[in-house]
Structure 1
Amino acid sequence: MRSLSIGDLPVTRYSIVLPFLNQIRKLKLLAVTLNHKCQCLFFEKCPNLEVLFTQDVCGDRGLQVIGQFCKKLRKLTHNGVFDPWWGLIGMWQRMLGKEDGITDLPLDNGVRAMLMGCNKLERLDISLRHEGLTDVGLEYIGKYGANLRSLSLTHIGKSNAGLVKLSEGCPRLRKLKLRGCPFCEQVVARYVFNILSLRYVWFESSDRESSDRDSSDCVRTYLALTRPEFQL
């Protein structure tokens, strides 16, 4: 068995798949009913994993476990299924036994650990709620994503500074997609071409000012850039 897709997995049947996980090359894990300990154990048991799609409830810890145990990973799609910080806060309350004092838990450190551990990663797709990854996380992607060739980010970053930091790294990046990120069109057009290997950029953003004036009418901006024509 080389590929496994799990839509849901009761805890009572959890042990059935464990003996096969070390053979898995491709894993699609949609079992969001699994607690964070079970999901992390999944990742620990998949040393030969090359492709992973996860609707992760493990947050920062899950990414760190992936970086520690899934050294052969080449493609990662990470969809956060939690409401803004609700899942992460709940996870850390269970782990640390704290009921308060947690106000901001982005995945910056987890992304850094994952990229440092999975140095063969070529394709990364991260979709989170707003500010699930800050400008620091974008800097980490640029710094440690040396082998990334395709990068897709949804609702990532806090300011244009994060994009600038990202553009200073990723020397092999050829394809970049940005959706719902807080970057202005001019900065995208100016800085992403600091990445000399880049061949295609897709940028989609919401006009927050317009949407604030009329919440029923959200204006979207689309920008596509390609080399060598640089056509808009």
Structure 2
Amino acid sequence: MPKMAYSFPEEVLEHVFSFIHCNKDRSSISTVCKSWYEIERWCRKKVFVGNCYSVSPTVVIKRFPEVRSIELKGKPHFADFNLVPEGWGGYVCPWIEAMACGYPWLEEIKLKRMVVTDESLELIAKSFKNFKALVLTSCEGFTNVGLAAIAANCRGLRILDLQESGDEDLNGNWLSHFPDSYTSLVSLNISCIGNEVSLSALERLLCRCPNLQTLRLNRSVPLDRISNLLRRCPQLVELGTGIYSTEMRPEVFVNLAEALSGCKKLKCLSGFWDVLPTYLAAIYPICSRLTSLNLSYAVLQSSDLIKLVSQCPSLTRLWVLDYIEDAGLDALAASCKDLNELRVFPSDPFGLEPNVALTERGLVSVSEGCPKLQSVLYFCRQMSNAALHTIAQNRPNMTRFRLCIIEPRTPDYLTLQPLDSGFGAIVEHCKDLQRLSLSGLLTDRVFEYIGTYAKKLEMLSVAFAGDSDLGLHHVLSGCDNLRKLEIRDCPFGDKALLANAAKLETMRSLWMSSCSVSYGACKLLGQRMPRLNVEVIDERGPPESRPSTCPVEKLYIYRTVAGPRSDIPGFVWTMKDDS
């Protein structure tokens, strides 16, 4: 292989490498020989860092000096469920400061679950002259000041995507800071802004950007103004509506229907806050070409949803509240044969009694009627092993399966048995399964199934499950490709963790909260595994003040080549030799 590598000119190899986009494949290429390492190093344009503390920015810059796009993730995934304390970390500032010097030609930054200050946004705005894309997902810490700096200074900006990001006082006044000469915007997502935006500034901006394809508005944009906005950008491919209710006025309905029909390329719809069902008919003429529909904020009854999805035969992606009910999912299964992704969210997750007629039957129906279904997130209140077996047999092509039974430790409602065999069928039949979330009454047996069959599983989320350490041992010893494991409220403890310590070095991270791992085991693991950061998160005070056998509140373990981080807050302790 090395001789073959030397027989190709570098320009040829660079061209070949440019067609390989998977990060894992690019990393494998660099291990073939020294010359391939050097070529791949210099021609790598995109870098993904799944944990901002796993490597230092200076190391990344030295390793890949010609990067144009970087994607960083900060806080653990469970931060989305308020399980990571405020002030834990995930600060992007050190990365921006390093890249301002090392990557002057950087064009794209994507951040997720990170703390992004106005100072960081201002540094981006003045440091990268060719900057084109800023994507902030579940980020916090910035205000209108930082966004105004981006708008005023990034003259070539094409993408500005604020997804569930920003502080409560964020508004749209910064939109007026885009220069009158600015015309390059292709995608704008301001759906997360909680306050009013300047509609006049927004309209002027849209008029100047003929290539705009994605526009996602926040709920402050009234329905009667959406028509005007759409007339200014008929080339839209994706639209997130603002508030979708007003007093029913015929002229508003007619204007909206005409404006939507004028968007001949429109394929994706989202938004629909406070939707008034009578206005849904305005989108019926374009339903046949819709491929994506996000109704996760739309309080619509099943009958209205049935009428809507029945007219969307090209739909590949649907996010919806459980108001769709089993009847609506039956209609989806009958009408949408190209459906690839389904997410059904709870409308009343804290209610003690069901408020909708959504059961396992709806998911079974979709699994039977939608042959291309690969990704599922499903919140419900009841499930059976028989239903899970049927779903597994119907959809062996499933790659992501996340089932969230709202009440913890809920058994098979027909037999009152654990749901072990049902989830066992999922991992046995779905050979390419990469992501799995478990719920319901589960014993160690389900983890034995997972360790035996889920050989391609990369991410596993577990809550209120298992009997003993044996469950965790099955997963860590059996899942060869596991990268991320997150566990809460399970009886897993020291023995399985220490016995599989070497496995943790092959993973990106392990999160455990409200489990049975002792402080003593955490110290021992940190001493044994110097390439791991073993972080104990405990808001009760120093763990040393309690017996070493006392379980820790939260444990976050991740591999790193950067050593212990320097921004540890007072409630986090890193376990090292001197712990």
Band of TM-score, shorter chain: 0.7 to 0.9
Per the TM alignment, residue 119 of structure 1 is displaced from its structure 2 partner at its CA by 0.9
| SS of structure 2 residue aligned to 1:111 | helix
Report the Cα distance in structure 1 between the residues aligned to 2:505 and 2:329, rounded to whole angstroms.
46
Which letter does structure 2 place at the counterpart of 1:81? I
Q: Which residue of 1 aligns with 2:332?
A: 17
Q: Which position in structure 1 is the counterpart of 2:433? A: 121
Report deviation, 1:27. Answer: 0.3
Within the alignment, does 1:43 sit opposite 2:358 as a pair? no
Q: Does 1:28 align with 2:343?
A: yes
Change (3 A) 1:196 1:170: farther
How far did residue 13 of structure 1 move? 5.1
Q: Is the 8 A contact 2:509 2:558 kept in 1?
A: yes
Partner of 2:320: 6
Q: TM-score, normalised by structure 2?
A: 0.33
Relative distance call for 1:125 and 1:166 in structure 2 (3 A) is same
Question: What fraction of aligned residue pairs are identical, expressed as a percent?
Answer: 25
* SS at 2:472 equivalent: helix
Measure, in 2, the Cα distance between the counterparts of 1:10 and 1:134.
30
Contact preservation (8 Å) 1:30, 1:54: yes
Per the alignment, in what secondary structure is the counterpart of residue 390 of structure 2? helix
**Match status 1:81 vs 2:406:** yes
Task: Kindly report which structure 2 residues correspond to 1:1-232, keeping only aligned pairs within 5 A, or say none.
Answer: 1-7=315-321, 8-9=323-324, 15-30=330-345, 33-56=357-380, 57-82=382-407, 84-85=409-410, 88-89=412-413, 92=414, 102=415, 104-128=416-440, 132-185=441-494, 187-191=496-500, 193-194=502-503, 197-205=506-514, 221-227=553-559, 232=575
Distance across 2 between alignment mates of 1:115 and 1:71:
9
* Greater strand share, structure number: 1
CA distance in 2, matches of 1:224, 1:83: 23
State the TM-score, normalizing by the size of structure 1.
0.76
- Alpha-carbon distance change, 175 to 125 in structure 1, aligned in 2, over 3 angstroms: same
Tell me, in whole angstroms, the C-alpha distance in 1 between the residues paired with 2:344 and 2:368.
14
Task: Confirm or deny: 8 A CA contact 2:401 2:437 kept in the other structure.
Answer: yes
> For structure 2, which runs of at least 5 residues remain unmatched after alignment?
1-314, 347-355, 517-539, 541-550, 564-573
CA contact (8 A) 2:458 2:483 kept: yes
Q: Secondary structure at the match of 2:389?
A: helix
CA separation of 1:138 and 1:42: change in aligned 2, threshold 3 A:
same
Q: CA deviation at 1:70?
A: 1.6
How far is 1:134 from its partner?
Answer: 0.6
Conserved in 1, the CA contact under 8 Å of 2:338 and 2:370?
Answer: yes
Consecutive unaligned residues in structure 1, runs of 5 or more: 93-101, 208-216
Give 1:109 deviation, angstroms: 0.5
Which moved further from structure 2: 19-28 or 35-44?
A: 35-44
Q: Could you tell me how far apart the structure 2 residues matched to 1:175 and 1:151 are?
A: 6
How far apart are 1:55 and its partner, in Å?
1.6
Deviates more, 1:173-182 or 1:198-207: 198-207
| Alpha carbons 2:333, 2:365 under 8 Å: kept | no
Q: Deviations over 1:23-69 (max 9, x none)?
A: 10110134762344343222221221121001242332232122111
Larger Rg: 2
Q: Any conservation in 2 of the 1:79–1:126 contact (CA below 8 Å)?
A: yes
Structure 2 SS opposite 1:168:
helix
In structure 1, distance between residues paired with 2:362 and 2:318? 16
SS of equivalent to 1:124: strand
* Stretch of structure 1 that moved more, 132-141 or 72-81: 72-81
Q: For residues 163 and 18 of structure 1, do their structure 2 counterparts lie closer, same or farther at Cα, with a shift above 3 Å needed?
A: closer
CA separation of 1:110/1:190 partners in 2, compared to 1, >3 Å: closer, same or farther? same
- In structure 1, the partner of 2:239 is none
Contact conserved, 1:138 with 1:166, CA < 8 A, in 2? yes
Give the 3-state SS of the residue equivalent to 2:364 in structure 1. helix
Q: Work out the CA distance in 2 between the residues paired with 1:187 and 1:167.
A: 8
**2:309 paired residue number:** none
Decide whether the 8 Å contact of 1:173 with 1:195 is kept in 2: no
Q: Distance in 2 between matches of 1:223 and 1:28?
A: 29
Which whole-Å CA distance do the structure 2 matches of 1:153 and 1:133 have between them?
10
Tell me by how many angstroms 1:11 deviates: 5.9
Q: Is the 8 A contact 1:163 1:191 kept in 2?
A: no
- In the TM superposition, what whole-angstrom CA distance separates every residue of 1:174-210 from its partner, at most 9, and x where no partner exists? 1111111111245324425446632311111257xxx
